[in-house]
Amino acid sequence: MSELNITLEYVSPAVLWGARNEHFEMFKKQFPKLKIVARGNEVKVLGDGQEISLFKNYFDKMIRHVEQYNNLTSNDVERILGAAVAIGDTAKNGEKVAMNIGGEPIVFGPNGVVVKARTANQRRIVESILTNDILFAIGPAGTGKTYTAVALAVRALRNKEVKRIILTRPAVEAGENLGFLPGDLKEKVDPYLRPLYDALDDMIPVEKLKTYLENRTIEVAPLAFMRGRTLDNCFVILDEAQNATDMQLKMFLTRMGPTAKFIVTGDVTQIDLPKKQQSGLNTALKLLENIEGIDIIYLDGGDVVRHKLVRRILEAYGDI
């Protein structure tokens, strides 16, 4: 039996544990094998030493969050409990050991926005792109695939590692028939590309983003516009790749110039192509999995960083 004693010095217990101790109860459910006692500024934890070490990793993450923001919501706690540590290497005795996955900020956005990997698999994406020129990030809604990819692209541009960012998506309607859209070509395709603009808005000041888009330092375009081009000295992201056909995905990947980085994101459970068309993403994942320089990272419900209910919704829908 091991014991851990913690004194809260710089955070309010009321903020830390939440109204009616709801955050405290979430911690107790996460660690049923531990006895956790909180009185005022003192926290005592009794139980297995390795389990206590795991608890300490989570708890420190929560403390840092409160110190930085002076606020803590149930969503924050659930995210921290799902992402503060990942079960990593196996110890000599066969037991799993904790691996800290907290990372440095990827990019600083306007209004104090700090973008960094928030889960173990997001951290793998950040690390993988350093050594691989093509990366597939595959996972369900809300796992931060696109957001992390855009942050890496913005970082590469700011560090002058590339001259341009190109963001693209197949212009496929998500189960709806939108019919004729009025306006010029940009106005017609922008609704399909809105999620990419949303990510950029978080990372680049408005006026600077406007300049980048006008001088095409950042280009956001439908996948069909990539045909015939050579994409070099740029960071290219193909989003929603599950809605690209075999020929489209082959076309996209073969646009790659000698000094480009490509990230392909997709969710194989949300294919919006007509029933008779096969998703090119599934084909690509099978054909390219063993090629050096190409990495494939799978994210899952544990990586969901949207509202806590998104993870539960994904679980409820299962394979539907």
Distances (CA, A) of 250 to 196, 273, 280: 22, 17, 8
245-269 pLDDT per residue, tens: 999 999 999 999 999 999 999 999 8
Looking at residue 2, the DSSP 8-state letter turns out to be: E
Which residues of the chain register pLDDT less than 50?
83-102, 173-178
**Residue 4 near residue 51, CB atoms below 8 Å:** no
Beta bridge partners of 108: 114
Helix (H, G, I), strand (E, B) or coil at 45: strand
Residue 282 amino acid letter: N
pLDDT, position 169? 87
3-state secondary structure 96-152: EEEEECCCCCCEECHHHCEECCCCHHHHHHHHHCCCCCEEEEECCCCCCHHHHHHHH
Instruction: Give the pLDDT of residue 161.
Output: 93
d(CA 249, CA 241): 8
Q: How far apart are CA 121 and CA 170, in angstroms?
A: 25
Task: Give the pLDDT score at 178.
Answer: 43
Q: Are 151 and 106 in contact (CB under 8 A)?
A: yes
Q: Which two tokens stand for residue 48?
A: 């297995």
Alpha carbons 288 and 278: distance in angstroms, whole number: 17
What CATH number should be reported for the domain whose range is 2-100?
A: 3.30.1370.10
Q: Which amino acid is at 88?
A: G
CATH of 107-317, one of 3.90.1150.10, 3.40.50.300, 3.40.190.10, 3.40.50.2300: 3.40.50.300
Pairing assessment for the beta strands 96-100 and 85-90 based on DSSP bridges: antiparallel
Q: Strand 134-138 to strand 218-222: parallel, antiparallel, or no bridges (unpaired)?
A: unpaired
Q: What is the pLDDT of residue 18?
A: 86
pTM: 0.66
Cα-Cα-Cα-Cα torsion 292, 147, 75, 271, nearest 10 degrees, comes to -80
Report the alpha-carbon distance of residue 106 to residue 114 in Å, rounded.
Answer: 8
- Per-domain residue ranges for the chain? 2-100, 107-317
**pLDDT digits 0-9 by tens, 171-192:** 754 444 445 555 555 565 667 6
Q: What are phi and psi of 77, to 5 degrees?
A: -65, -45
Can you give the pLDDT at residue 308? 65
CA geometry: angle 237, 109, 266, nearest 5 deg: 25
Q: pLDDT value at position 103?
A: 54
